Amino acid sequence: MNELNLTGVDPLRWLEVQRRVSIVQDYLAIPLPTEMDQKRHSARLGLSINQFMALVRAWRDYGSAARMAASGAHRGAPRKPSRLTLHPKAREVAARAIEEMGPTAALPKIMHMISERCAALDVKTPSRATVWNMAMTARQRHESGETGIVIGTCKVRLPMATENGLALPALTIAVRANDGAILAAAMEAADWQLASMTIASASPGDTAVRADMELLTRTPSDSIRNGVLPILGAQARSAISRILGRGIGQIRLIYQPTKALAPERLLTTKEDRPLSCADARTLIMATVYRHNAARSARDASWIDAATTAKPA
């Protein structure tokens, strides 16, 4: 990321902001820029001269990448909502139902209560996706009911550019249930058999370690003898969802792969760009670092060989 401080910039606008800063710096390097220079540089960004000069002033006065994320009348405007506005009464009903039943309750049961109450108020029932998101948010403030350590793989809700087109990054994590700390992580293939056994041997004797069986290379009996209980991938993701809620910091995790949006649908404005593999890794590592720091936990052990960078 060329040493540019991208704090406060939407990750999907990192590439566009880098491009804007580079072109603005080119313009400012001209000793006595003319109106023709303004036209030429603004055209490179697809902006009017007024919009371009607003970026020039913002960079010259503040040197802040965050101020380069938008231009013109929309500078600083939040990203437009991507779903229909929910009726305030329906939102209140949903929030109350989640609070009463607990965010880890089965979604069909929560939906049944919400549907009945919304019908009584003659307001439209929120969609399952909306209620699911509200429940996931609530889980981040709620005791999960889970114990021990869980190891599983989730997709990350970020569009990433790969050699084969756009994709969602895969993140495998070992999560401690009592505080949500991430003990180990990987974004590439890694020896989770050895890692899970190491985690189990370093944990107190009464701490159960459960791992997605697809990550384990030994037979179930061998894993169990070494203190690791193999479970289905869906069970691991479900347990992680109860511990972490919607995700890690501002990064959203996908617990139901079949319901994930196509990566290209996450690019909702003309300024959005998919992350490079390197930038996706840097962002995720930094977010995990801050997540653990907030819990006074040591940084996660990154066990895949491809992960060599340190978090920003």
**59 — pLDDT class (breaks 50, 70, 90):** very high
Residues of 201-218 as b/e, b for ≥16 C-beta within 10 angstroms?
eebeeebebbbbbebbee
**218 — pLDDT class (breaks 50, 70, 90):** confident
**Residue scoring higher pLDDT (135 or 157):** 157
**82 — pLDDT class (breaks 50, 70, 90):** very low
**Which of 55, 10, 21, 82 is closest to 275 using CA atoms?**
10
Mean pLDDT of 50-61: 93
User: How far is residue 19's CA from residue 40's CA, in Å, rounded to a whole number?
Assistant: 15
**161 — pLDDT class (breaks 50, 70, 90):** very high
Q: Note whether 52 and 72 are within 8 A (CB).
A: no
User: How far is residue 123's CA from residue 106's CA, in Å, rounded to a whole number?
Assistant: 23
Report the interhelical angle of 107-121 vs 88-101 (nearest 10°).
140
DSSP 282: H
Q: Which residues pair with 301 in a beta bridge?
A: 184
Query: How high is the pLDDT of residue 88?
Result: 87
Q: Which residues contact 166 (CB under 8 A, 6 or more apart)?
A: 159, 160, 262, 263, 264, 274
Name the helix (H) or strand (E) containing 252: strand 251-254
**158 — pLDDT class (breaks 50, 70, 90):** very high
Q: Which residues contact 224 (CB under 8 A, 6 or more apart)?
A: 230
Q: Which residues contact 294 (CB under 8 A, 6 or more apart)?
A: none
pTM beyond 0.95, yes or no: no
Q: Note whether 107 and 128 are within 8 A (CB).
A: yes
**86 — pLDDT class (breaks 50, 70, 90):** confident
pLDDT single digits (tens) 244-273? 988 998 899 999 888 788 999 999 888 889
User: How far is residue 112's CA from residue 132's CA, in Å, rounded to a whole number?
Assistant: 13
Q: Which residues contact 210 (CB under 8 A, 6 or more apart)?
A: 148, 149, 150, 151, 228, 229, 230, 231, 235, 236, 239
DSSP 275: B
Query: How high is the pLDDT of residue 142?
Result: 63
